[in-house]
Amino acid sequence: MLDAAAAVVQEYINAGPPYIGESNFKDKELVKSLGGRWNGESKKWAAGSKYALAQLIRSNKWLPSGFTYNAAMSMLQLLETSVQSVAGGGCGIKFDRRGEKDCKFDPYKDKEVAPCGKIRIYARFCGDCNVLLDSRLQFGLECDCDLGCAWKACHGCFVPLKLGEACPHCK
């Protein structure tokens, strides 16, 4: 029976986005900030990538449609243990970018071409404290500035942006 449940979870992941889910109306801003997008067809919030799916499940404010909390936790565990490279179509959950060895911009790890042909850029350095920000990581949009800079990811190309900053790639 456990194998059948795991197969259903794997099938859901393999079906690809959008991953339709359930959340309370009061949590809509959090769901949006974690990568959820409104799906007008289903009239529900959806994750557009495996990374967003993992972020939304981790929040405990959104569950994939048709799945129990326990099944969603199994899905999260599967997403986190089946890490692949972004170039290979993985979920983008990769490694802690705070390590000295990994604190450099790598065009192979930090860019990908979306199906629409647009280039997605996931990482950049904070100009004030020189910490590498990565929009794919759970705490990747935090830097070490004394100013406490607030960051967000561009909805079009995912490049990290300071709040109020316009994306130079999506003008």
Return the ∠ at Cα 122 (arms to 120 and 127), rounded to 5°: 125
CB count in 10 Å sphere of residue 126? 18
The average confidence (pLDDT) of the chain is: 75
Q: What is the mean pLDDT of residues 153-167?
A: 81
With 0.85 as the threshold, say if the pTM is over it.
no
pLDDT digits (tens, 9 = 90+) for 73-100: 989 888 877 544 333 343 333 334 445 4
Domain boundaries along the sequence of the chain:
2-87, 94-164
- Enumerate residues 6+ apart whose C-beta is below 8 A from 20: 39, 42, 44, 45, 46, 64, 65
35: nearest Cα among 155, 146, 147, 167: 155
pLDDT of residue 65: 93
The answer to whether residue 158 scores a pLDDT higher than 90 is no
The answer to whether residue 166 scores a pLDDT higher than 80 is yes
Q: Which amino acid is at 98?
A: R
Return the ∠ at Cα 85 (arms to 84 and 89), rounded to 5°: 80
